[in-house]
Amino acid sequence: MAQQLVFELGHRPASGREDFLVAPSNQAAVALIDAWPDWPDRIVALSGPSGSGKTHLAEVWRMASGAVSLTPGALPDADIPALVQGRAIILEDLVSLTGEGERALFHLVNLVRAEGAFLLITSREALAHLPLRLPDLTSRLKAVPQVELGAPDDALLAGILVKLFDDRQLRVTPAVISYLASRIERSVEAAREAVAELDTASLSGKRPITVPLAAEILGRQGEMPL
């Protein structure tokens, strides 16, 4: 029998505000984004583990505010005054910075406040825990209002699985969702990986996505299929 070829065509994840699933673990962060432009400060931060929804909420805010996005690595060479003139900036996945990067961020923070612009920072770590060396920058970031997103609970994880399957235009039974939600790691990344592997396995084997197929996939990943 000829092997079935699978072409990875990709898919377009839904990332609008109406596509974000609200749960206790992210409710405060959603409320903060929805409150713009009436934020408690010109600079706010979202922190939480990878896959907790920070990037999705930053994209929601970008669509609402017209913000420009940049990464910490781009800070040293960025035209800070030009960025601030755009009135809204997203600094995504703030991690350890070099000396030049810290000085650039210090300049950005000061100019955002001086010019009345807005800055949204996302980080896997609380800003107070970042290993920064510039004392003035550390003190300014500690004063930034920050909301932490937690790992998804059972109901949210099930909802995320449904959304990930929908993003790929796949329809699965509630039994499959329940099976996966009770066995995969409690993270969006684990859900995304399981859905992607099920999609590929279903296409390559010309099989529907069922609980037995999910058990095979979880067995390959080292999860407990039970």
User: Where do the structural domains in the chain lie, given as residue ranges?
Assistant: 17-148, 154-221
**Average pLDDT for residues 125-139, to the nearest whole number?**
93
Selection from 57, 188, 77, 79 nearest residue 123 by Cα: 57
- Is it true that 17-148 and 154-221 share their CATH fold? no
pLDDT at residue 19, as a whole number: 57
Tens-place pLDDT, residues 35-83: 999 999 999 999 998 878 898 899 999 999 999 999 999 999 999 999 9
Question: How much of the chain exceeds pLDDT 70, in percent?
Answer: 88
pLDDT at residue 222, as a whole number: 60
> How is domain 17-148 classified at the architecture level of CATH?
3-Layer(aba) Sandwich (3.40)
Mean of all residue pLDDT scores within the chain: 87
CATH of 154-221, one of 2.30.30.110, 3.30.300.20, 1.10.8.60, 3.40.50.10420: 1.10.8.60
Tens-place pLDDT, residues 18-41: 557 788 888 899 999 999 999 999
